[in-house]
């Protein structure tokens, strides 16, 4: 299936987005670091903070990236944006309102994988992009769907109880985003599909 836009048009969307929202990218990365800190320095508010922070990230991606920018070249972005807003609502409802999302880690393989997801999303994703010739501002930055979905998987893996509804949309995006990006040469998004597959395997192995 052909895409309704070219690689150059796709990269131009990133360029326009990055220039328009600057310096929001810095604050999005700081938010990510705050959520990681909340995970490893738990207190009574940590779980709600993590859920709220993830909701902010998904709302940002849905409204700012998909609705405002990606729709300029792809009408399907209206659907994508709506899914991302729904995901933000799920984090708010189950995590903040209902307090049903408890993020915990043990000294096991799962937390190691989560940390690797965090590191990949925040550090190796942009470095790989640079090596592939995707130079800022025409490159995906944190706060855009693919690296941020990988980051989100890191937290979903650490949920004490499996809640399928929380990871349906991220898994769906790992397939959509990977397929489209592969056709466009955004090869760092191979990590997105890998993160999705690993997350499904681990989450369904939980009781």
Q: For residue 166, what are the CA distances in angstroms to 55, 78, 115, 189?
A: 11, 20, 20, 21
Q: Is residue 176 part of a domain?
A: yes
| pLDDT, tens only, 167-195 | 999 999 999 988 877 889 899 999 999 99
Does residue 15 register a pLDDT over 90?
A: yes
**Residue 178, pLDDT score:** 86
Nearest to 95 by CA among 84, 104, 103: 103
Q: What is the model's pLDDT at position 207?
A: 62
* Domain annotation covers residue 122: yes
Sign of the torsion angle spanned by Cα atoms 68, 70, 72, 75: negative
Tokens of 1: 């299936």
Contacts of 116 (CB under 8 A, 6+ apart): none
In the chain, the number of structural domains is: 1
Q: What is the mean pLDDT of residues 42-48?
A: 94
Q: Roughly how many angstroms between the first and final C-alpha of the chain, as a whole number?
A: 38
pLDDT band at 1 (very low <50, low <70, confident <90, very high): low
* Nearest by Cα to 202 from 94, 133, 109, 119: 109
Q: Which helix (H) or strand (E) holds 184?
A: helix 164-184
Q: Does residue 166 lie in a domain region?
A: yes
Give residue 162's pLDDT: 84
Domain membership of residue 96 as a residue range? 7-205
Whether residue 192 lies inside any domain: the answer is: yes
The vertex-70 CA angle with 19 and 156, nearest 5°, equals 95
**pLDDT tens for each residue of 65-85:** 999 999 999 999 999 999 999
Give a yes or no: residue 2 inside a domain. Answer: no
pLDDT digits (tens, 9 = 90+) for 101-160: 999 988 789 999 999 999 999 999 999 999 999 999 999 999 999 999 999 999 999 999
H-run or E-run covering 11:
helix 7-21
Residue by residue, DSSP assigns 49-80 as HHHHHHHHHHHHIIIIIIIIIGGGT-TTHHHH
HSE at residue 103, side-chain half, CA atoms within 13 A, is 32
Main-chain phi, psi angles of 103, to 5 degrees: -100, 120
């Amino acid at each position: 299936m052909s895409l309704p836009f070219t690689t150059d048009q796709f990269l131009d969307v990133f360029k326009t987005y990055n220039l328009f929202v600057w310096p929001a990218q810095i604050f999005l990365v700081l938010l990510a670091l705050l959520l990681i800190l909340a995970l490893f320095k738990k207190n009574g508010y940590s779980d709600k903070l993590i859920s709220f922070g993830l909701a902010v990230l998904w709302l940002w991606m849905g409204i700012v990236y998909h609705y405002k920018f990606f729709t300029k070249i792809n009408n399907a972005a209206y659907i994508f944006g709506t899914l991302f807003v729904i995901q933000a609502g799920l984090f708010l409802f189950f995590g903040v309102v209902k307090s049903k999302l408890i993020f915990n880690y043990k000294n096991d393989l799962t937390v190691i994988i989560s940390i690797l997801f965090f590191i990949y999303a925040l550090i190796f994703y942009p470095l790989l992009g640079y090596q592939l010739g995707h130079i800022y501002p025409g490159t995906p930055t944190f706060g855009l769907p693919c690296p941020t979905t990988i980051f989100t998987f890191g937290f979903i893996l650490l949920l004490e109880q499996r809640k399928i509804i929380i990871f349906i949309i991220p898994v769906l995006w790992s397939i959509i985003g990977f397929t489209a990006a592969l056709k466009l040469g955004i090869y760092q998004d191979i990590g997105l599909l890998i993160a999705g597959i690993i997350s499904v395997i681990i989450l369904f192995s939980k009781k």
